[in-house]
Amino acid sequence: MDTDNVPEAEDEALVDLDQLREDLEQRTAEWRANKQDSEQAMQLWQSYTRLTHDLSLMLTEQLRLILTPTQATQLRGDYRTGKRLNMKRIIPYIASEFRKDKIWLRRTKPARREYQVMVAVDNSKSMAQSTQAVELAYETLALVTTALNQLEVGQLSVVSFGEQVSLLHPFDSPFDSEAGARVLSRFSFDDNKTDVVQLMDASLQLFDAAAHSGSGNSADLWRLQLVISDGVCQDHPRLLRQVRAAMEMRIMTVFIVLDRSAIATSAAAETMDPEKDSIMNTQQVMFVKGPSGKMEMKVERYLDTFPFKYYVVLRNIHGLPAVLAETLRQYFSLVGSD
């Protein structure tokens, strides 16, 4: 192996990915402007999965260490009764004049992960203010769904939210390439507002319905909701109560914030201050009752009251696997210590 050429090969791979991303950005814009043809949707989905292939493998391996198997599927052990004969024990069994009768295998080792995962994508106009935002949302969706499929995590659902919440892919259907293409075609990014409160209400109902339908009948079932949005939401106190209600139902919500400083349009790039426009530095004005009893204006950082305890500010798609895995690791470490 010629190690001298490794850096050059890596550079070429990065260039290829950058070229593919630039090409996808243009193709996605043309596709969305031309009534979103279904055949082109399949081609786009395959391109997005190819673009995020290495990152999805990375996320798969990260999550494999965190989302532990919960359902026993592997046969092992020596038992007097069981599901299947252990052929290695048959000859010793006969030779012992049928006294060594522990010749059966049972399902005792957890190997399958029984989680329900919902991916919710913001379908509002704020997401469509730049082609980069739409592309980043599609990349994130492809990366996460591919990784979860590779991990055989359990059941996967996809919803869109804005003015209304729409179920794009149900829990009880496998998520394949055709499903991915259909999901892409359902996004319009033209809703006039982002109603996260409604999303939380609807998602709790969908999780509850899935459990009662028999798809979530395990007492140890954990549910995970990944929300992909630009992060701007209203009524933080009510959302905080909803997040707590979700936790009581064993539903963890992780908010993946597509940071505006990373998805600004090229036309606005010259006048935009990346740090100022970042959600990390966004401020909000609130009116609170002061010591005198009068309402006073208070300016505070937007994320200081952000109702989602577990969130990821995504500026670069390459950072998602590590950051998302670390967020989930913190959560499962917390619940595991209770």
> What is the CATH number for 202?
3.40.50.410
**Are 175 and 273 in a shared domain?**
yes
Question: Do 95 and 189 belong together in one domain?
Answer: no
What CA–CA distance (Å, rounded) separates 33 from 12?
32
Judge contact between 121 and 189, C-beta under 8 A. no
Distances (CA, A) of 52 to 7, 21, 80, 123, 127: 21, 10, 49, 21, 20
Domain end among 86, 111, 136: 111
What does the DSSP assignment read for 84-137?
EE-GGGHHHHHHTTT-----EEEEEEEEE--EEEEEEEE-BGGGGGSHHHHHHH
Residue 219, classed as helix, strand or coil, is coil
Q: Which helix (H) or strand (E) holds 149?
A: helix 131-151
Angle at 331 between CA 301 and CA 317, to 5 degrees: 65
Whether 76 and 105 have beta carbons less than 8 Å apart is answered as yes
Give the domain-ending residue among 52, 83, 111.
Answer: 111
Domains: count for the chain: 2
Is residue 2 in a domain?
A: no
Same domain (yes/no): 101, 179: no
Q: Which residues of the chain have pLDDT under 70?
A: 1-15, 68-113, 130-131, 214-220, 261-277, 285-288, 334-338
Report yes or no: 236 and 306 within 8 Å, Cβ to Cβ. Answer: yes
pLDDT attached to residue 190 = 92
**Are 96 and 130 within one domain?**
no
What's the pTM value of the predicted model, to 2 decimals? 0.77
Instruction: Report the alpha-carbon distance of residue 174 to residue 145 in Å, rounded.
Output: 11
The rounded distance, in Å, linking the Cα atoms of 156 and 178 is 14
Do both 95 and 204 map to the same domain?
Answer: no
> Is residue 171 domain-shared with residue 302, that is, in the same domain?
yes
Q: Judge whether 153 and 174 are in contact, CB under 8 Å.
A: no
**1 belongs to a structural domain:** no
Q: Which residue has the tokens 């913001």?
A: 122
125 within 8 A of 86, measured Cβ to Cβ? no
Q: Which of 111, 130, 165 is the last residue of a domain?
A: 111
| 223/315 same-domain check | yes
Query: Domain range holding 196?
Result: 9-67+113-336
Asked if 82 and 171 sit in the same domain, the reply is no
Q: Are both 96 and 39 inside the same structural domain? A: no
Residues 100 and 148 in one domain: no
Kindly state whether residue 4 falls inside one of the protein's structural domains: no
Q: Is residue 43, in this structure, part of any structural domain at all?
A: yes
Mapped onto helix, strand or coil, the DSSP state of residue 233 is coil
Find, among 145, 248, 238, 252, the residue nearest to 196 by Cα: 238
104 with 158, same domain? no
Any domain includes 232: yes
